[in-house]
Amino acid sequence: MNVRRSRRASASTSKSDAPDPRARVEKLIGEIADTYHRAAESKLELFARWMIRNGTESAQRRKRRQKLKAYSSMAVAFVVRGLNRMVSRIVRIDPVARALGRHREFLLTTTPTLHAIAATEYILRSFNKHQSELQKGDSIVKDARKFFVPIPRHKPPQYAIRPHRERVMYLLHNCRPFHNGGYAVRAHGIIKGLRSWGYDVIPVARPGYPHDNLPTVENFAETMNVDGIDYRFFPPGVADRRSMSKRAYADAYSKALKKLVEEIEPSILHAASFSMNGRAALRIREALGIPVIYEVRGLSMLTDLGSKGHLLPTSDRFWEAWDEIEVAKSADRLLCITEPLASLFVALGVSSNDVELLQNAAEDDALKLTSATPEEEGSTRWLGYLGSLQYYEGLEDLCAAIELIADEHPDLDVRALIVGDGPYADKVSGRVEQSPHRERFRLLGRVPHEQIGSLYDQCTAMVYPRSPYPVCELISPLKPFEPMARGIPVIASDVGALSAIVKDGETGFSFEAGNVQDLADTIVKVLNEPETREQVMRKAKAFVRTERNWRQTTRRTAELYRELHEAQEASSEPSPGSIPQSG
């Protein structure tokens, strides 16, 4: 299925005929979940056939099972949950049916989980011995081995430390002061919001960061203060994901994290994307009994779904998604950045009772600012875009809309100010160079943060024309909140994640995603109706300041902290001095 609508088809579609964004998102969620499950079933069949072809006698499997110490979520999912479902298909395949018949009784007897894990463990260990025999299923197994890291699925009934009730450890992929992108800005805002509810949130970056993410690192320290928040970093050399296997990195991460947890003694482990943070937290839960909240901000396979033009993820992306989903299922609670993403995880098997929202919000500094109103009569009207230049941001649609306005409304001097950098920068620059109205575009690239305010002051409105790709339908950006807080009108496409923020005629102006004519008409309307624009500006500003600030959006998360801590504390009194060793 092609998830990107044709521009010509979109341009000829009126807004009244456009599909409801919510219905479109629900359909997309169903398609992604169905595609994911079909991909898993296909890999399951190949994996099982490979297992049967290279299997050994039951006695040998039992011997290996007795030595097995690690539980594999992949083995349970691939073999146990899927074997019964796929038997009816495989038994019709000869000679696989006869082989399966010999082993089926063994695999599905009294303790199927352990038998399946034992069989899978043998297969993975013997991978290198059978390379000459492997055929179609081999690449599946090879891909799986990269992600074969056990997920602990149980926790002790009590704390094995004496936790500080209001202390939380927050595990991050990247953070300030080394990064200032959306991930780091969101983390900083969440920490501030949770601190306003009385929680001592201690942010800890994963081992290896920032050295494995930046070409050079200056002024590094294991504790760095940013805006009153002490960020903690592991010493260089603890782990390096660039040179270590996934499993080796997970082991080193867990070992280092356990020492830090025993030092800090938090009552909750809050791990943010990606799954490596969640897995480490789950291992600590198994050892020390600390509840785990996993905060998922997206799925890497969603980015591929749009750029490849279809809903079939690449093999690596599939396994990364599998990893994220298994961590999400294992955590005590799951926090999702948007409602559509939460719905997707429920469709992928996470219990709806365990899913909560932790949405984006405006930074505190933005709430205190108000942008100057640019001159209107007889002047140039600047439409601004500030953010990363990615294929899914719809900037080519913005260029086409500006050209359309120049042709249809020559008396309206509308221009686009595009600020930012990214992998799509050359494409955007090339598109502008080819435009017959290239004088109406100004590309600034990346600019210092202190100049952002003056750029906002030049703009009559900000435009976020995200395209109807899965990543845009399900994941929301931080971009709209600052202009809304400043009192600048926002024009945005009606992709699912944005439509929850920018509601047409209330908190902003929306148009059908991918529809260039609708975007052009919406821009003209916003510019020609100053009273409507002013009214919407006031509502948007009030919305952000009362509902989408970090204190309000973290309210439910603070309640979850309290609930999980009280439940764990009630199960048993802490027993210091009896700290189990991690596997």
* Strand-strand pairing, 223-226 and 229-232: antiparallel
pLDDT tens per residue, range 411-462: 999 999 999 999 999 999 999 999 999 999 999 998 988 888 899 999 999 9
Q: How confident is the model at residue 21 (pLDDT cuts 50, 70, 90)?
A: confident
Tokens representing 72 are: 């594999």
d(CA 208, CA 189): 23
Q: What is the structure's pLDDT at 143?
A: 55
pLDDT tens per residue, range 294-326: 999 988 778 766 655 555 556 667 778 888 988
Residue 107 has pLDDT above 50, yes or no: no
User: Shortest CA distance to 112 belongs to which of 132, 84, 87, 139?
Assistant: 84
Q: What is the structure's pLDDT at 11?
A: 42
Which domains can be identified in the chain, with CATH numbers? 26-146 (no CATH), 164-361+556-571 (3.40.50.2000), 366-546 (3.40.50.2000)
Residue 506 has pLDDT above 90, yes or no: yes
Q: How confident is the model at residue 575 (pLDDT cuts 50, 70, 90)?
A: very low
Could you tell me the strand order of the sheet in which 414-419 lies?
441-445, 414-419, 381-386, 459-464, 490-493, 509-511
d(CA 486, CA 481): 9
* Strand-strand pairing, 490-493 and 509-511: parallel
- The torsion angles phi and psi of 136, rounded to 5 degrees, stand at -60, -40
Q: Side chain identity at 455, as an amino acid letter?
A: L
Q: Which helix (H) or strand (E) holds 140?
A: helix 138-146
Tell me if 61 sits within 8 A of 122, measured CB to CB: yes
Q: What is the structure's pLDDT at 375?
A: 55
Averaged pLDDT, 7-15:
44
Residue 88 has pLDDT above 60, yes or no: no
The percent of residues in the chain predicted with pLDDT above 70, rounded, is: 70
d(CA 254, CA 269): 13
Q: What is the structure's pLDDT at 92?
A: 40
Which span out of 21-35, 114-128, 310-324, 485-499 was modeled with the highest average pLDDT? 485-499
* Strand-strand pairing, 355-357 and 381-386: unpaired
Residue 225 has pLDDT above 50, yes or no: yes
Residue 564 has pLDDT above 80, yes or no: yes
d(CA 278, CA 295): 9
Q: Which whole-number Å values give the CA distances from 272 to 32, 205, 297, 495, in the listed order?
A: 23, 10, 8, 24
What is the pTM for the complete model shown? Answer: 0.80
Residue 105 has pLDDT above 60, yes or no: no
Q: What is the structure's pLDDT at 37?
A: 78
Residue 63 has pLDDT above 50, yes or no: no
Could you tell me the strand order of the sheet in which 164-172 lies?
223-226, 229-232, 200-205, 164-172, 266-272, 292-296, 333-336, 355-357
Q: How confident is the model at residue 102 (pLDDT cuts 50, 70, 90)?
A: very low
User: Shortest CA distance to 209 belongs to which of 186, 179, 188?
Assistant: 179
Q: What is the structure's pLDDT at 246?
A: 84
Q: Which whole-number Å values give the CA distances from 163 to 288, 411, 443, 572, 573, in the listed order?
A: 10, 67, 52, 13, 11
Tokens representing 179 are: 């990064």
pLDDT tens per residue, range 331-389: 999 999 999 999 999 998 899 999 999 999 998 777 666 665 665 555 889 999 999 99
Is the bond preceding 423 in cis, omega lying within 30 degrees of 0? Answer: no
Residue 4 has pLDDT above 60, yes or no: no
Q: What is the structure's pLDDT at 247?
A: 83
Residue 394 has pLDDT above 50, yes or no: yes
Identify the residue with better confidence: 48 or 129.
48
d(CA 535, CA 26): 31
Among the residue ranges 68-77, 208-217, 524-533, the one predicted with the least confidence is 68-77
Q: What is the structure's pLDDT at 55?
A: 47
Q: What is the structure's pLDDT at 41?
A: 67
Helix ranges (H only) for 265-391 are: 275-288, 300-307, 315-330, 339-347, 364-367
pLDDT tens per residue, range 155-206: 666 778 888 989 999 999 999 999 988 999 999 999 999 999 999 999 999 9
